[in-house]
A and B are shown apart, each in its own frame.
Chain A
Amino acid sequence: MLELYHWEPNIFSLKPLIVLHEKNLEFAGRYVDFLSFEQYELPAMSTVEVRHNPEGEGPILVDRGVPMTESFFIGLYLDEAYPAIPLRGRSAHERWRVLMWARFANEVLAPAISSLGCRKYLVPALKDRDRRDVLKSIERMPTKEQRDGWLQALDNTYSEELLADSRRKVGIAIRKIEDALAESAWLAGDAYSLADIDLYALIAPVPDLAPEVLNPAPRTVAWMESIKRRPAVTAALAASRTGKPHQAFSPGPEHSRWG
């Protein structure tokens, strides 16, 4: 039985939920409120790959007893393990393009979206909490990267420079999507693929977080609308308990240390 631990269906948690529904796979959804820090108390999660989750915090798929992290690689796993309704591209070249989109998304776009989203929604959410309790939970986190990420939100130390750089990176992503959609119907070619799911899940909060970068981006806006209307996306978003999935942010991957 497939089990997916996830929070509100936003960015990383949204991706595998869409993939599972697109492929009509049965699974047990285990909702974990990341603001409760329960994600650090899950049983049997002590592997290197969970402890050093490159997404900071994200969904965990358990299949055949193995906990798997990294939302794009979870989708790729599902596509390879359950090959009906393939989503990873139809040729070696398309699959290379899917990998290139995922790399760009996780390295450039995801840290930028996460910084903007955390600044807007996580900072005020933590202000309502008992600071000492939050600090106690942060101290127990296994890696310095995770502790630093949460402290940044708790103390609201997002600099103007970082936020401006984040908006710049989101703008680069929108231009890239706009250019790709001038060449083909979907990001990796003529077929809807994991690349579309990956980028859509990260871009979905942009109309709220950085609306200026979508003006104008007509192809991107139309592409977002057509993905949003897919039954699998509706089904994935139905896992929301707050009714505001695109406002759910926890500290995510770091911005590249090389600038």
Chain B
Amino acid sequence: MLTLYHWEPNANSGKPMLALKEKGVPFESHYLDLLNFDQHSPDYLKINPNGTIPALVHDDLMLTESTAIMEYVDEAFPGPRLMPEDPVERWRIRWWMRFFDQYFAPSLSMIGWSVFIGPSVRDRDPEALKAAIARIPLKERRIAWSKAIYNTFSQVELDESRRRVAIGINCLEQTLSERRWIGGDDYSLGDINGFNLGYALPLAQPQLCNDEKTPHIMRWLRAIYARPAAKATWSMGRTQMAQRIQFLES
């Protein structure tokens, strides 16, 4: 029995979705609407007390943290291997997944939460929003949601996030100019991770990420989008957020 609790194929939710599709592992999809705070509902907290998504339930095991879930999925199920044999490439993939998860993505998502997540929920009943924030189990997530809802990201924080996004794009372009995929010659979890972070970069950061300035990133994004598993994953999206991926058809 395998159930994935996830939101849109985007950022963290999309990582295990795409990994499962690449391996051809059937799973029960349980969609949670992040903007409706489904992830903090009592029913879901019974499954994952931290109220984070995604979460994977495999028989009696409950697994969290999208990157660690992907490594588990790759090892525990048959299908094409998504980590190469070469230990140097495996090291490089893990280094990059940490760079994506802990440097690049937090900065990109701070901008995303400020311009999209916050405005999407801000106009709701103030008392209901207050109660929704109070129900969030993790302190860090309470801080993130209240900053998004009350629009209290400082200019300094947002400027610093923009600076880091530019550095992330430069580092990624450089590495993809040296090798075909993140790890080396093989498509891997590192590419799945990076694609979830970066598929909308040409739309979100058009002045930094485009065919002239970052041809290798563009080549890499299009190559991943051409994969049937990517199409199958993004077709599970329900909102316009996931539809941004169609940009890569051009």
Q: Using CB atoms, name the residue of chain B closest to A259.
A: B143
Q: Which DSSP category, helix, strand, loop or mixed, fits chain A's interface?
A: helix
Which residues of the other chain, B, contact A106 by a CB distance below 8 angstroms? 98, 102
Could you tell me the distance between the alpha carbons of A106 and B69 in the complex, rounded to whole angstroms? 18
Task: Decide if A99 touches B71 in the complex (CB within 8 Å).
Answer: yes
Task: Decide if A258 touches B88 in the complex (CB within 8 Å).
Answer: no
Instruction: Verify if A48 is at the interface (C-beta below 8 Å from B).
Output: yes
Task: Using A77-B87, A81-B87, A256-B140 as known contacts, say yes or no to A92 and B72 having CB atoms under 8 A apart.
Answer: yes
Which residues of the other chain, B, contact A49 by a CB distance below 8 angstroms? 92, 95
The size class of the interface chain B forms with chain A is 35 or more
Which residues of the other chain, B, contact A107 by a CB distance below 8 angstroms? 102
Give how many A residues have a beta carbon under 8 Å from the other chain's beta carbons.
30
Which one of B76, B98, B157 has the greatest number of beta carbons of chain A within 10 Å?
A: B98
Task: Using A48-B175, A68-B91, A73-B94 as known contacts, say yes or no to A100 and B72 having CB atoms under 8 A apart.
Answer: no
Instruction: Verify if B144 is at the interface (C-beta below 8 Å from A).
Output: yes
Could you tell me the distance between the alpha carbons of A92 and B72 in the complex, rounded to whole angstroms? 6
Task: Decide if B88 touches A77 in the complex (CB within 8 Å).
Answer: yes
Question: Interface code A226-259, partner B: CB below 8 Å = 1, 0 otherwise?
Answer: 0000000000000000000000000000001111
Stretch at the interface among B60-68, B115-123, B217-225: B60-68
Could you tell me the distance between the alpha carbons of A232 and B175 in the complex, rounded to whole angstroms? 36
CB distance from A146 to the nearest CB of B (A): 13
Which residues of the other chain, A, contact B167 by a CB distance below 8 angstroms? 52
Task: Decide if A52 touches B91 in the complex (CB within 8 Å).
Answer: no
CB distance from B118 to the nearest CB of A (A): 14
Instruction: Verify if A10 is at the interface (C-beta below 8 Å from B).
Output: no
Instruction: Verify if A93 is at the interface (C-beta below 8 Å from B).
Output: yes
Instruction: Verify if B160 is at the interface (C-beta below 8 Å from A).
Output: yes
Task: Decide if A257 touches B106 in the complex (CB within 8 Å).
Answer: yes
Could you tell me the distance between the alpha carbons of A169 and B177 in the complex, rounded to whole angstroms? 39
Instruction: Verify if A212 is at the interface (C-beta below 8 Å from B).
Output: no
Q: Using CB atoms, name the residue of chain A closest to B64.
A: A100
Cross-interface CB contact of A93 among B61, B99, B160, B175, cutoff 8 Å: B61
Which residues of the other chain, A, contact B161 by a CB distance below 8 angstroms? 257
Task: Decide if A95 touches B90 in the complex (CB within 8 Å).
Answer: no
Instruction: Verify if B226 is at the interface (C-beta below 8 Å from A).
Output: no
Task: Using A49-B95, A95-B72 as known contacts, say yes or no to A259 and B144 having CB atoms under 8 A apart.
Answer: yes
Which one of B67, B69, B75, B102 has the greatest number of beta carbons of chain A within 10 Å?
A: B102
How many A-B Cβ pairs are below 8 Å? 85
Which residues of the other chain, A, contact B174 by a CB distance below 8 angstroms? 48
Which residues of the other chain, B, contact A80 by a CB distance below 8 angstroms? 87, 90
Task: Decide if A258 touches B65 in the complex (CB within 8 Å).
Answer: no
Instruction: Verify if B2 is at the interface (C-beta below 8 Å from A).
Output: no
Q: Using CB atoms, name the residue of chain A closest to B139.
A: A259
Which residues of the other chain, A, contact B94 by a CB distance below 8 angstroms? 70, 73, 76
Task: Decide if B71 touches A95 in the complex (CB within 8 Å).
Answer: yes
CB within 8 Å of A: which B170-190 residues: 171, 174-175
Instruction: Verify if B103 is at the interface (C-beta below 8 Å from A).
Output: yes
Instruction: Verify if A136 is at the interface (C-beta below 8 Å from B).
Output: no
CB within 8 Å of B: which A100-126 residues: 100, 103, 106-107
Instruction: Verify if B110 is at the interface (C-beta below 8 Å from A).
Output: yes
CB within 8 Å of B: which A51-83 residues: 52, 54, 63-64, 66, 68-70, 73-74, 76-77, 80-81
Which residues of the other chain, A, contact B90 by a CB distance below 8 angstroms? 76-77, 80
14 A-B residue pairings within 8 Å (CB atoms): A54-B102, A54-B103, A73-B94, A74-B91, A76-B91, A77-B88, A81-B87, A81-B88, A96-B71, A100-B68, A103-B67, A107-B102, A257-B110, A257-B160
Taking Cβ atoms with an 8 Å cutoff, the residues of A that contact B are: 48-49, 52, 54, 63-64, 66, 68-70, 73-74, 76-77, 80-81, 92-93, 95-96, 99-100, 103, 106-107, 144, 256-259
The 3 closest A-B pairs by CB, nearest first: A81-B87, A259-B143, A92-B75
